[in-house]
Structure 1
Amino acid sequence: MLLLLILGIVLLPKASTLKCYECSPDLSGSCKDTEKQCPSNGFQCGALRVTSYAGASKVSDINMTMCVLAERCVEGSLNFGVSRTVMTIKCCTSDLCNSQPAPAPAKSTPNGKKCFRCDGQRCSGTLNCEGNEDHCITTTVGLGDEKMTMKGCASQLMCLGSEIAKLPGGIGVGLSCCQGDYCNSAISTRAGLLLLVAPLVTWVMFS
């Protein structure tokens, strides 16, 4: 009986992984879909949309496709007050099912949570978090030779160590996340990811 079980396991064909479209935008924001075999059964096909705003004005709207871990198929946003970047995603579980773009971000409203925001060199202003932004954040942004502290709100997704933001010419800096109103008044006790970030984050990708 044990021998039959071992033989069955050995002879069982490996479960095939999903085949998904993959498209990572170049500096111009354009790309061409290619087919990619996902690395394991824990992946789904995903269509990701990253929309950035300066105030109420939309400044970029980037679409991409990829294999994505099922637990990473969640939406999130990064909000500094003067700029906000929103990720929407649509995942599916059949071969090459991610040919259609993710939906545009829904209009968000304040959720009652409050964090500090920066205005120039002062970081004592109040930012009303929106949507599913449940963390306060502190980061340092590199602008040429200058560095500037920025504070704001973020969704849990943005505080996961496996997330990577990419911005041409950006500088890798530490993003600290914490939970609780105004908890980002000092250095957070919870370290986040290494993030390439600027006041207007152009796109965010899964590693």
Structure 2
Amino acid sequence: MKLLLSLAISCALFSAGFPLSCYQCTPDASGNCTNTVTSCMSSQPTCVSTTATVYTGTSNISKISTKFCSVPQQCVSGSISLLGVRTTLNTNCCSTDLCNSQTLPEWPQNSLNGRQCYACNTTSCLAVLNCSGNEDRCITVMATVLGTRVMVKGCVSPEICSGAMSQLGLNASAEINCCQGNLCNDARRIIQNILLLLVPLVSIVLIH
């Protein structure tokens, strides 16, 4: 029994001393990517391989494949559609040494699913966009770009809403709101929801 306990402790110490090794690959200006081996930090227990693809209509205009160390929360696949542009993300995660050797294909182009969301064009954010695949939510993003406040609206997969915005180029400082229901990302509906939340709060204040 003591021997087994000693072996278990030794194995644990041995594992703790050797961090996870993953392939790392960042594409250059030509889109080429060469695998190198990197040791992950203890806070990054996952090897990731991901491919982001940008479409205009059915035309593939950009495809970027990367590999890196990360966290399980980044293991997300799905898509986000804006007016005239659709970005997809295909991600695979694993947790053994050098398990992310595979370069993933693009997330499949899916047919329209019958849902609709508002999208922004150059004049307003009231254009109606037809959603594709598993995009069952509408999204509104408020971000600051070069000092200018910008609003973006469209359709989005539920997984993208929950945690992969950074992989799609939406930084952490952006204000992101997702909702369910056709055309739910109308500013008027957002204001109505805020008012509905304020009614019970005002009632509580008045009572006390």
TM-score for both structures, normalised by structure 1: 0.70
Higher helix share: 2
Quick one: distance in 1 between partners of 2:56 and 2:109?
15
The Cα RMSD (Å) is: 3.5
Deviations 1:115-154 (A, max 9, x none): 1112322222221211121221112355656544221011
In structure 2, what residue type is equivalent to 1:97? C
- In the other structure, the counterpart of 2:184 is 183
User: Which of residues 60, 66, 85 is equivalent to 2:87?
Assistant: 85
* Number of corresponding residues: 187
In structure 2, what residue type is equivalent to 1:156? P
Contact 1:140 1:150 in 2 (8 A): yes
* Aligned pairs (5 A) from 1:39-118: 39-40=41-42, 43-70=45-72, 72-118=74-120
TM-score for both structures, normalised by structure 2: 0.70
Cα deviation for residue 64 of structure 1 reads: 0.4
Moved more, 88-97 or 75-84: 88-97
Deviations 1:86-130 (A, max 9, x none): 001233454223222101221211223221112322222221211
Query: What are structure 1's unaligned runs of at least 5 residues?
Result: 191-207
Cα deviation for residue 58 of structure 1 reads: 1.9
Quick one: distance in 1 between partners of 2:151 and 2:142?
4
Quick one: distance in 2 between partners of 1:133 and 1:23?
29
In structure 1, what residue type is equivalent to 2:175? G
Higher strand share: 1
Identity %: 36
Contact 1:76 1:157 in 2 (8 A): yes
Quick one: distance in 2 between partners of 1:91 and 1:121?
40
Contact 2:83 2:129 in 1 (8 A): yes
* Aligned pairs (5 A) from 1:1-207: 10-14=9-13, 15=15, 17-26=19-28, 29-40=31-42, 43-70=45-72, 72-140=74-142, 147-161=149-163, 163-165=165-167, 172-186=173-187, 187=190
